[in-house]
Amino acid sequence: MSGRQKSRGRGPRRPRGRPASAPTRVGESLTLDVGKVAHGGLCVARHEGQVVFVRHALPGERVIAEVTDGTTKSRFLRADAVQILRAAPQRVTPACPWSGPGQCGGCDWQHTSVDYSRELKAQVVREQLQRLAGIDRQVEVEALPGESDGLHWRTRVELAIDPAGRSGLRAHRSHRVVPVEECAIAVPQVAKTGAFSGQWPPGVTGVDVVVPGVGEPVMVTLPELQPTPSVRERVVTASHGTHDLDVSARGFWQVHPAAASTFVEHVLQELEPRPDERVLDLYCGVGVFATFLADRVGPDGVVVGVEGDERATEEADTNLASARADVHLVCGDVGEVLASPVIAEELGQHGHQPHADLVVLDPPRTGAGRQVLEAVAALTPRAMAYVSCDPAALARDLSYAAELGYELHSLRAFDAFPMTHHVECIAVLRPHAGEPMEHSILPFEDRRESGRCRGDGPV
């Protein structure tokens, strides 16, 4: 049940003291002059003093937009541009016939070129950095190797099944399934599996298709009747070798085939791990960064990985079984693990408190947050690499890091999700010049201990 109960025998009762709901504006048509780009694949417009976030528009256009969410009292409205009265010169015909108002919600920028979409993403990153972190920096969103037109790159696709048994993708901000015959941003092997065609039997609610770096495509139907299989992904770097890693077919992995290799190469180049160093890999997943870091720090070095997902931690243990370094994997909430004695035990002491020479953070979209960054700063690393898929969360966390004595040393942004609003940023932080690398840390008895996973599972 929701928080509001139903009344029997009469209309819904309104709690005392609360004003009546404001009239909805959903379905209204508005003529708008579109302004700058906003975070989330939207552009900003105004109508009679109310902010409107418009999808399927471009800066500088004049459009007729249909309101999709909001009331007369809402701080802002959401709308779809359903008619273009004055087109921007960058507007193109979408490559996908299922892209547009009311259709598939997977892509945000099919109506412009991939080059211009990268300019829009760069504007968003710059604006978030300036607004949330006070950082004024030029940003270029770079194409990944092998990228050209922004199409045919996605190696993992999650399809939903509608009540008629047809597969498709969900509409924007909706559970409604839009049946499609193919996906323009997916690699061709996805369609060849037959996942888009045919009739799915009753009870099947979704289909996940994975085209791994090694081996044949895999389809997993939902709900799962069998254990989820693992697939093998290959990470190839120009300077640091190649590793194959096992990962669940439904686990987290970068969906662009060049993403993992590019990110590993850049992180290692910026951090410059040295033999014998102690490295902390937070939100380590199946160990993609930890595997290459272990090669660099060598047999006298230490790599500690922390991951909240038990299946991913088990796979990381497999992937790192033959690592050259002393590797420790901890399964648990990152914040709780950092606040427990576990980190000191695994990293070892430097003076009277635990210490890491390098830290890699690859948090979920919500970011790491103040608590995690305070704990990381207390480890006094000489450098940290922060891998982020959300520029707003990154900017917020960079502001926390600055308060803790770490400044932005370098930033690169990669178009790991062409045609969508998503962008991957890698920020490298180092101590402020002249900043003493000493930070207060709670005594161990004041911290909460969390569980951890080793090679034989949770202990």
Handedness of CA 241, 246, 247, 249 (dihedral sign): positive
Q: Degrees (nearest 5) of the Cα angle 269, 271, 275?
A: 100
Amino acid identity of 318?
A: T
Catalytic choice (104, 107, 389, 425): 389
Nearest to 372 by CA among 413, 325, 404: 404
Distance separating alpha carbons of residues 406 and 398, to the nearest angstrom: 8
Distance separating alpha carbons of residues 300 and 275, to the nearest angstrom: 7
Establish whether the linkage from the previous residue to 145 is cis, with ω within 30° of 0.
Answer: no
386 assigned ligand-binding residue: no
Distance separating alpha carbons of residues 33 and 54, to the nearest angstrom: 10
Strand spans (E) along 225-313: 230-236, 242-248, 278-282, 302-307
254 assigned ligand-binding residue: yes
Distance separating alpha carbons of residues 155 and 133, to the nearest angstrom: 34
Handedness of CA 180, 186, 190, 191 (dihedral sign): positive
Q: Is 389 labeled as catalytic in the residue annotation?
A: yes
* Residue with token string 């273009």: 84
307 assigned ligand-binding residue: yes
Q: Could you give the 3-state DSSP secondary structure of residue 340?
A: coil
Q: How does DSSP classify residue 72?
A: T
What's the burial of 131, exposed, middle or buried (CB within 10 Å: 0-12/13-18/19+)? exposed
Distance separating alpha carbons of residues 284 and 242, to the nearest angstrom: 18
Distance separating alpha carbons of residues 133 and 137, to the nearest angstrom: 11
Handedness of CA 441, 445, 450, 453 (dihedral sign): positive
Which residues carry a binding-site annotation for S-adenosyl-L-methionine? Answer: 254, 283, 307, 362
Residue numbers annotated as active site:
389
